[in-house]
Copies of this chain bind each other. A is one copy, B any other.
Amino acid sequence: MPHSHLHADPAPHAHLHPARFPVTVDVVALTVGGGELRVLLINRLIEPFKGGLALPGGFVLPGEGLRDAAARELAEETGVARLPGHLEQLQSYGPAGRDPRGDVLTVAHLLLAPDFPVLAAGSDAAHAGWHPVSDVLDGVLDVAFDHRQIIADAVERARSKLEYSPLGAAFCGEEFTVAQLRAVYEAVWGTRLDPRNFHRKATGTPGFLEDTGAMSAGEAGRPAALFRLAPESRFVAGEPVRAVLNPPLMRPRG
């Protein structure tokens, strides 16, 4: 019996020839720019949906892990050398009913990143660019496959993650001001937050922010102190985020 099954399975013959599926990873890369949430999309060079917009992604290779595949595809299609921000798995979709060519399982991932530069057009790969999330969700922009649903799920995940984890800082650079961090929360939640209360809460949460001693300059108004993530709150590649904000940075109640 060359193909044995993994689990007891009374379905007739199902264990003799387990079906095999192509598996892709897709990455919903989110950033904050211009006061709004943006998603990274590529122009498809091939059918189906040729010329349309889609999430960066591609096939998982034999012997490869999901996270590695997502990081590899993102690097290939955007030209980033080191993965910026925080990458985590979102959820899987399929395999039935999502690709016109047949069953394809995709494992969607979520990247929260600062506004990094992406590949210019004319390169070997497709042109990649940031687009407002609201345009995708409102249907102003069309995206391939079930990618609108995936993006909607990703945004919802990002929203709820921000309250309890230090992941808001994943959208900022290494050092940032409290106002920049606040802009992230306002963009993701689509609300306005009181700058004074946010400042108190962000700086007053133990284990969240660390004062660098440096100051921002060049902007209007009084210079702001520059912070970085405290060591216990830093997220490392592949590890789940451990630090929890308690009390959370609450989003206003609906």
Which A7-25 residues sit within 8 Å CB-CB of chain B? 7-11, 14-15, 18-24
Q: A96: which B residues are within 8 A, CB to CB?
A: 63-65
A239 at the interface (CB under 8 A from B): no
> Are the C-beta atoms of B56 and A7 separated by less than 8 Å?
yes
Which B residue sits closest to A156, measured CB to CB? B240
CB-nearest residue of chain B to A107: B92
A113 to B64, CA, bound (A): 34
* Interface residue A126 (Cβ < 8 Å from any Cβ of B): yes
B21 adjacent to A125 (CB under 8 Å)? no
CB 8 Å contact bits of A53-68 with B (1 = contact, 0 = none): 0101111111111100
Asked whether A246 is an interface residue with its Cβ less than 8 Å from the other chain, the reply is yes
| Pairwise interchain contact A24-B7, C-beta atoms closer than 8 A | yes
Within 8 A of B (CB), among A53-107: 54, 56-66, 73, 76-77, 89, 91-97, 99, 101, 103-105, 107
Given contacts A4-B47, A21-B60, 7 further A-B contacts (CB under 8 A): A6-B99, A6-B104, A19-B22, A19-B60, A19-B62, A65-B97, A92-B107
Closest 10 CB pairs of A and B: A20-B20, A8-B126, A18-B59, A7-B58, A9-B58, A18-B22, A19-B62, A92-B92, A8-B45, A65-B96
